[in-house]
Amino acid sequence: MKTPVGAIGLLSLVILPSLLFAAAPAVPPPPAVDGRAHVLMDAATGKLLAAENENERLEPASLTKLMTVYTIFHALKAGQLHLDDKVVVSEHAWREGGAGSGGSTMFLPIHGSTTLENMLKGVIIQSGNDASIAVAEHLSGSEEAFSDVMNRHARELGLKHSHFINSTGLPDPEHYTSALDVAILSRALINEFPEYYAWFSQKEFVFNGIKQGNRNLLLYRDSSVDGIKTGHTQAAGYCLAASAKRGDMRMITVVMGTGSAEARTKASLELLNYGFRHYETQRLYQAGKQVVEARVWKGATETVGLGVPADVWVTVPRGSLDTLKATPEAPRDLVAPLDPATPVGSLKLSLGGEPLLESPLVPLTAVAEGSLWRRAMDTVLLWFE
């Protein structure tokens, strides 16, 4: 979006001022979900478009494995692990997560081994409890120690209603999360690890001659869906974290505590369709690009470009972009030296007259103090401002 340059001093900038006070288009209510909690989130902005009981602590079942693989992905990024590492299946992993445990499994042989990459695919595609325990032990020595790392990442992500006891999602009174926390975690997985996220769209995986299909039915019904993870226990009900990308827009849904695999699939698809149909997401400002130019006093240069330190994205009802108003504000007396790391103003966005978001404005270049003559002249000129 091209933005006109504001006046030097108190900056004021408006997008399409003739439509400034137009009302945003009305959006119908989101579809009802027959479950314990749900969330619909835009992946680019994190904006919630629908939510119910989103902060309620619930059993996550195998949605836990999103944090398991997130933790492993971080270790890969840090160089602590490598995809070709050989991961050994301990007796504990085999007994608690193997074929005799009654849960989902990768059918790993006791004391056998395979690559970390295969293990991760077993966790993501087959939801293998044995693979989840094996990768946890491979990184941290035990599931208990691994859960400490999981909880550290949860705190770093700002997950306020989550606590992890194990890597699988097997029931425990102190093992819980919320629909909103799962959505935040899913967004982090997608945005931080695109090189691994493609595994979540894989419909089947063969290991040791056994082929298993992905339990996410949306992968078979909608080509725009490329993840993410199912979960189910008797206590948790049927859960699904899903994501779809249509054009340049990506949505994330989380439904928890539905009555069947079909119910979680139907609810997720209805939420996704609602989000894509009624909302649009656009990048308004790019980091490092000039939003406005401001007067600098007592500096080596008389003006400086101001911009946003990070891309500014908005998610708004479809057809309402023309009702956006952008107002950059900075003091009239910007005095050198100026540091690009230090905000000197703000960019305020409103939609239909209502505040939408606010971003800092920072100098795009450093401005050093000017000469003694420049500082003296600007001191005098500032008396008349």
Asked whether the bond before 228 is cis by omega within 30 degrees of 0, the reply is yes
Q: Which two tokens stand for residue 354?
A: 């209502």
Q: Which two tokens stand for residue 82?
A: 């490598």
Q: What are the CA-CA distances from residue 292 to residues 1, 25, 184, 289, 336 (Å)?
A: 14, 29, 33, 9, 17
H helical segments located in 125-206: 129-140, 143-157, 179-192, 194-197
Is 86 a known active-site residue?
no
Q: Of the residues 47, 65, 266, 298, which is catalytic? A: 65
Q: Of the residues 62, 104, 243, 320, which is catalytic? A: 62
Q: Which run of H or of E encompasses 64? A: helix 64-77
Scanning the structure block, which residue is given the tokens 């505040």? 355
Q: Of the residues 104, 127, 167, 268, which is catalytic? A: 127
Is 65 a known active-site residue?
yes
Q: What are the CA-CA distances from residue 154 to residues 56, 67, 87, 97 (Å)?
A: 16, 8, 25, 24
Q: Which two tokens stand for residue 363?
A: 């100098």
Backbone angles phi, psi at 367, to 5 degrees: -125, 115
Please, which residues bridge with residue 87 across strands? Answer: 114
Is 104 a known active-site residue?
no
Q: Which residues are catalytic?
A: 62, 65, 127
